[in-house]
Chains A and B, each alone.
Chain A
Amino acid sequence: MIEVRDLKRSFGTHCVLDGVSFRIDAGEAVVIMGRSGGGKSVLLKHLVGLLSPDAGEVLVDGRNIANLGERQMLEVRSKFGVLFQGAALFDSLTVAENVGFALSRSGKCTPAEVANRVAEMLDMVELPGIQDKKPAELSGGMRKRVGLARAIVHRPAIVLYDEPTTGLDPVVSDSIDQLILRVCEQMKVTSIVVTHDMRSARRIGKRILYLRDRRIYLDAPTEAVFASTDPVVHRFVNGISIPKEITF
């Protein structure tokens, strides 16, 4: 369903991705993990065409989207739902307008249908009855949930999560993990989660891609990664630092 071939991307003289390749099949739940600033979010943005690679290919359902124009990308993006790190809710709109945005803009649903679907999605993320609130009135966890409702309202085939539990307390993080699992099971979507939260990675992912030194260092089932005896993987999974390697 999604295949990345020899992806390369630099910002100025700083190379972030250098020959990244992997394949994700339909219905898989994959976690991309790596250190902060290691290029995980950049990689995720390439999958949905928010960034264009310097070289390489990104194939979505067999179509290379690497060099598509912005208007051609709109059609491809309707297959995706994205939960951003800070939820990225539109400040000027209410929760209902945020969640129903994609449906309202598509022009294929009546206002009543949009309202019903919004209510259904808010029930799913366990936030019923907050349609009229503004994003500024919501807590961090609520914003993430509303962001997720907005991402899945149009029933996408692929949902991307950019650090869904960052900045949340352990209890709220756990509830977000459960929500991601529920979405994955109920909607049968392909889930790609970028995180460096090991607990989340273990719960959500069936497979882990470990991004290190601008490439995929390891591509293996989740339990194999956590049981790995490779010193690099072992240190990352268990959060063991080597002072000379620390770059903030």
Chain B
Amino acid sequence: MQPVADIGNFALRMVADLGGFALLAGEVLRSLVSVRPSLRDLIYQLYSIGVKSQSVVLITGAFTGMVLCAQAFFQFQKVKMETGTLALVGVSMSSELGPVLTGLMVAGRVGAAMAAELGTMRVTEQVDALRTLATHPVDYLVVPRFLATLIAMPLLTIEAIAVGIGSAYVVGVHFLGIDAAYSWAHMLKYVGKSDIAMGMFKTLCFGMIIALVGCYKGLNCREGAEGVGHATTEAVVTASISILMSNFFLTLALRGLLE
């Protein structure tokens, strides 16, 4: 009977978490329309989430673009279609790899930091202190992080896409000997506005997931250092899995809408 009970408990926890996310999202929405967020807190979070994430996102984008270019080139070479390499990299980076890899990197760096910071505040009674000072934790802690993630994610994704394509161009043209003019022309021809729009919409969704999951796990973590550790791990795992799963459904839904 134990395995059945474990599955039941897992299912109950999942439902409870989903309910918690929905309530937090509702509270964020309510705060956004009724309370003006502090500009100073927003700028601080933008720096912390956006500026400080740039290096990891740029490195990820660059090496993903390079390896994708090399792999695509080796396959296209067999059918004499080398000049399509950059087009494949462009479409992949714009609509899939750019947003997803940026989302995963930011989830690992920022989602974990949010859960750890808010979790520590919770276990040291700082969140309770905030409440006794007539301040709603969602207004002060969640909304600035949520808005900053929503602003930073598209910008980081654009950077990752641009660096990925640029790196692929360098590798393809200078190291693998692809014709520069044809490659560039093919890329411009096959990367459509719909690919860019899809990537931007996805990255906004991923930003919401990262901020809500990180803040929810932090604000609901169990007591002690172990609780904070669990919350941090769960935030990264939950956000990463949610990004990968939602990406599939977003691709299906948006492809139908945008084309």
Task: Please report A residues at the B interface, Cβ cutoff 8 Å.
Answer: 45, 48, 50, 70-71, 73-75, 77-78, 80-82, 84-86, 88-91, 101-102, 105-106, 150-151
29 CB-based A-B contacts, threshold 8 Å: A70-B131, A70-B136, A73-B131, A74-B134, A75-B134, A77-B131, A81-B132, A82-B128, A84-B128, A85-B125, A86-B124, A88-B125, A88-B126, A89-B126, A90-B126, A90-B130, A91-B126, A101-B135, A102-B133, A102-B134, A102-B135, A105-B133, A105-B134, A105-B135, A105-B140, A106-B134, A150-B129, A150-B133, A151-B132
Contact check, B125 vs A77: say whether CB atoms are below 8 A apart.
Answer: no
Are B136's CB and A45's CB within 8 A? no
Beta-carbon contacts under 8 Å, B113-144 to A: 120-121, 124-126, 128-136, 140
Q: Are B124 and A48 closer than 8 Å at their CB atoms?
A: no
Chain B residues, Cβ within 8 Å of A90: 121, 126, 129-130
Give Cα A50 to B125, complex, Å.
11
Quote the shortest CB–CB distance from B128 to chain A (angstroms).
5
- Chain A proximity mask over B129-171: 1 for CB below 8 Å, otherwise 0: 1111111100010000000000000000000000000000000
B134 close to A78 (CB less than 8 A): yes
A70 to B139, CA, bound (A): 12
State which of A50, A85, A86, A106 has its C-beta within 8 Å of the C-beta of B132.
A50
The minimal Cβ–Cβ distance linking B258 to chain A, given in whole angstroms, is 39
Residues of A within 8 A of B136 (CB): 70-71, 74
Chain B residues within 8 Å of A84, by CB = 125, 128-129
Tell whether, in the assembled complex, residue A101 and residue B133 are in contact, meaning their CB atoms are under 8 Å apart: yes
Chain A CB count within 10 A is highest, among B120, B125, B126, B129, for B129
A88 and B135 form a contact (CB under 8 A): no
Q: How far is the CB of B218 from chain A (nearest CB, A)?
A: 14
> Are B134 and A77 touching (Cβ within 8 A)?
yes
A88 to B120, CA, bound (A): 11
Judge whether B132 and A77 touch: CB under 8 Å: yes
- In the assembly, what is the distance between CA of A73 and CA of B140, in Å? 16
Instruction: Tell me the bound Cα distance from A39 to B140 in angstroms.
Output: 29
Q: A81-B132, A84-B125 known; 10 other A-B pairs, CB under 8 Å?
A: A48-B132, A73-B131, A74-B136, A77-B132, A85-B125, A86-B124, A89-B126, A105-B135, A106-B134, A150-B133
> Which chain B residue lies CB-closest to A80?
B132
The chain A residue with its CB closest to the CB of B35 is A71
Residue of A nearest to B27 (CB): A70
Chain A hits for B126, CB < 8 A: 88-91
Complex: chain B residue closest to A48, CB-CB = B132
- The residues of A that contact B125 with a CB separation of less than 8 Å are 84-86, 88
Bound form: Cα–Cα A73–B130 in Å: 12
Give chain B nearest CB distance to A12 CB in angstroms. 13
Q: How far is the CB of B127 from chain A (nearest CB, A)?
A: 9
Asked whether, in the complex, the Cβ of B135 is within 8 Å of the Cβ of A82, the reply is no
Smallest distance from the beta carbon of A206 to chain B beta carbons, Å?
Answer: 24
CA distance A48 to B132 in the complex (A): 7
**Would you call A50 and B128 a contact (CB within 8 A)?**
yes
A230 to B150, CA, bound (A): 63
Instruction: Return B132 CB to nearest CB of chain A, in Å.
Output: 4
With a CB–CB cut-off of 8 A, which chain B residues contact A70? 131, 136
**Residue numbers in B under 8 Å from A81 (CB-CB):** 132
Quote the shortest CB–CB distance from B19 to chain A (angstroms). Answer: 16
CB neighbours of B120 from chain A (8 A): 91
In the A-B complex, the 4 residue pairs with the closest CB atoms:
A88-B129, A88-B125, A82-B132, A102-B133
Contacts of A71 in B (CB 8 A): 136
Which single residue of chain B is at the shortest CB-CB distance from A160?
A: B132
With a cutoff of 8 Å between Cβ atoms, the chain B residues found around residue A85 in the complex are: 125
| A2 CB to nearest B CB, Å | 15
CB distance from A58 to the nearest CB of B (A): 15
